[in-house]
C-alpha cells in the first residue's frame, strides 16, 4: 500500500495562479515527484471574500482535489489557510493525507533570520484578519515586534497581468510605508502572488530588508513530510505535473507560464459543485 501511495502526486491548492510560485520551487527541489495543481480562478480573489463564502468553497475545493488521489496536500494560499485551515485538515484527514501550509514555514524562517526582531507581514485582508501569521510568529519562542499590512489590491493587480505602470508603483509604495516606519528588517510575503513584485518591494524597502517567500520553505517541509511517511517516489526521472482550474483555461495558461517559469502542460477546466 505504501508503494502504491508513493506513486500518487502531491496536490497543490491555490485560489488562483499565485501558488505556481510555490509549485515552481517544488518542481525544482523534488523533480522526481508528480504534481496535481488546482487553481480556483473562478473564485479569485479569496483575500477580500467573507468567511461565509470562503469556508464552504475551500472545503469543496479540497475535497474535489483530493478525490483525484494524492499523497500530500500543499495549501499554497495564505487566505485559504487563514480562513479555512481547519476545514482543509478535516477533509484531508478523511482522505488520510497530511497537510502543509505556507504560513508556518515562513514564520519559522522569519523568526530565525530577523536580527532586530522587527518582522513585517504583507498579506491580504483575510489573512491579516485571520491572525494566522501572528499566531505562527508568537509560537516561535522569541520576542518579536510584528507589523502586519493588509494589501487588498496587490494580488488582483498581479493576477491581472503585466506590465506594471506608475499607479501600481504608487500602490505598492503605500503598502511599504508602514513597514518602513516600523523599521522591519524581515518581511514575510504573505501571499503567493507577491514574489512577482519582490524586486519592486526590495527597491522600496532597501536591500538590507530580507524577504521571506513560501516556495523554499514549503519545498523543504514537503521533503521532510514525504521522508517521514516513507512516501518518496521511486522514480528516478522527472515527474509529471498537471493543472485544474475553475476559470478560463486560456487565461490560466497565459499568465501561469510567467508564474511557473516553465511551460504549462495539460490544463483541465473543472466546476466545483456544492
Segment 167-177 shows an average pLDDT of 91
Give the whole-angstrom CA distance, residue 72 versus residue 154.
29
Find, among 91, 41, 87, 29, the residue nearest to 193 by Cα. Answer: 41
Residue indicated by cell numbers 518582522: 119
Looking at residue 123, the DSSP 8-state letter turns out to be: E
At residue 161, the pLDDT reads 66
Find, among 203, 154, 197, the residue nearest to 175 by Cα. Answer: 154
Which carries the bigger pLDDT value, residue 159 or residue 263?
263
Do the domains 103-213 and 2-102+215-269 match in fold? yes
Sheet with 10-14, side-by-side order of all strands:
98-101, 72-75, 10-14, 35-39, 241-245, 267-269
| pLDDT higher than 90, residue 273 | no
Active-site residue, 245 included: no
pLDDT, tens only, 225-248: 999 999 999 888 999 999 999 999
Determine which one of 54, 72, 77, 123 is catalytic.
77
Q: How confident is the model at residue 5 (pLDDT cuts 50, 70, 90)?
A: confident
Under a CB-based contact definition with an 8 Å cutoff, are residues 197 and 258 in contact? no
| Joined grid coordinates for residue 66 | 483530493
pLDDT, tens only, 191-228: 888 988 899 999 999 999 999 998 888 998 999 999 99
Phi, psi of 168 (to 5 degrees): -65, -45
Determine which one of 191, 226, 245, 264 is catalytic.
191
Query: For 233, left (φ over 0), alpha (ψ -120 to 50), or beta?
Result: beta
50, exposed or middle or buried, with CB in 10 Å at 0-12, 13-18, 19+?
exposed
| Joined grid coordinates for residue 125 | 485582508
CATH 3.40.50.1860 is held by the domain 2-102+215-269:
yes
Give the whole-angstrom CA distance, residue 256 versus residue 259.
5
Q: How confident is the model at residue 2 (pLDDT cuts 50, 70, 90)?
A: low
Q: Delimit the domains of the chain by residue range.
A: 2-102+215-269, 103-213
Contacts of 86 (CB under 8 A, 6+ apart): none
At residue 98, the pLDDT reads 96
Give the whole-angstrom CA distance, residue 64 versus residue 39.
12
At residue 175, the pLDDT reads 96
pLDDT, tens only, 113-140: 999 999 999 998 988 998 889 999 999 9
Element (H, E) at 10: strand 10-14
Cα 65 from chain centre: 16
Third-level CATH fold of 103-213 = Rossmann fold (3.40.50)
Query: For the chain, percent helix, then strand, then coil, each to nearest 5?
Result: 50, 15, 35
What is the pTM (predicted TM-score) of this model? 0.86
pLDDT, tens only, 159-169: 776 567 788 88
| pLDDT higher than 60, residue 1 | no
pLDDT, tens only, 61-112: 999 999 999 999 999 998 898 889 999 999 999 999 999 998 998 999 999 9
Segment 10-30 shows an average pLDDT of 93
Active-site residue, 191 included: yes
Give the whole-angstrom CA distance, residue 164 versus residue 13.
27
Amino acid at each position: 500500500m505504501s508503494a502504491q501511495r508513493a506513486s500518487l502526486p502531491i496536490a497543490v491548492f491555490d485560489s488562483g495562479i499565485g501558488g505556481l510560485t510555490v509549485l515552481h520551487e517544488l518542481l525544482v527541489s523534488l523533480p522526481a515527484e508528480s504534481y496535481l495543481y488546482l487553481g480556483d480562478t473562478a473564485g479569485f480573489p479569496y483575500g477580500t471574500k467573507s468567511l461565509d463564502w470562503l469556508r464552504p468553497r475551500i472545503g469543496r475545493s479540497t475535497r474535489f482535489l483530493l478525490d483525484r488521489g494524492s499523497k500530500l496536500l500543499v495549501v499554497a494560499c495564505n487566505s485559504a489557510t487563514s480562513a479555512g485551515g481547519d476545514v482543509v485538515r478535516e477533509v484531508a484527514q478523511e482522505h488520510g493525507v497530511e497537510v502543509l501550509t505556507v504560513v508556518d514555514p515562513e514564520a519559522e524562517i522569519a523568526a530565525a533570520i530577523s536580527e532586530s526582531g522587527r518582522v513585517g507581514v504583507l498579506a491580504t485582508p483575510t489573512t491579516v484578519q485571520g491572525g494566522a501569521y501572528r499566531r505562527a510568529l508568537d509560537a516561535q519562542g522569541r520576542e518579536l515586534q510584528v507589523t502586519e499590512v493588509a494589501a487588498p489590491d496587490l494580488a488582483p493587480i498581479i493576477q491581472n497581468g503585466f506590465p506594471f505602470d506608475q499607479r501600481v508603483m504608487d500602490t505598492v509604495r503605500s503598502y511599504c510605508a508602514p513597514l518602513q516606519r516600523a523599521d522591519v528588517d524581515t518581511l514575510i510575503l504573505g501571499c503567493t502572488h507577491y514574489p512577482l513584485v519582490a524586486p519592486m518591494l526590495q527597491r522600496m524597502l532597501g536591500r538590507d530588508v530580507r524577504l521571506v517567500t513560501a516556495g523554499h520553505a514549503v519545498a523543504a517541509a514537503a521533503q521532510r513530510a514525504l521522508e517521514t511517511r516513507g512516501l518518496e517516489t521511486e522514480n528516478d526521472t522527472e515527474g509529471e505535473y498537471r493543472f485544474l482550474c475553475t476559470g478560463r483555461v486560456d487565461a490560466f495558461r497565459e499568465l501561469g507560464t510567467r508564474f511557473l517559469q516553465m511551460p504549462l502542460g495539460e490544463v483541465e477546466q473543472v466546476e466545483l459543485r456544492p
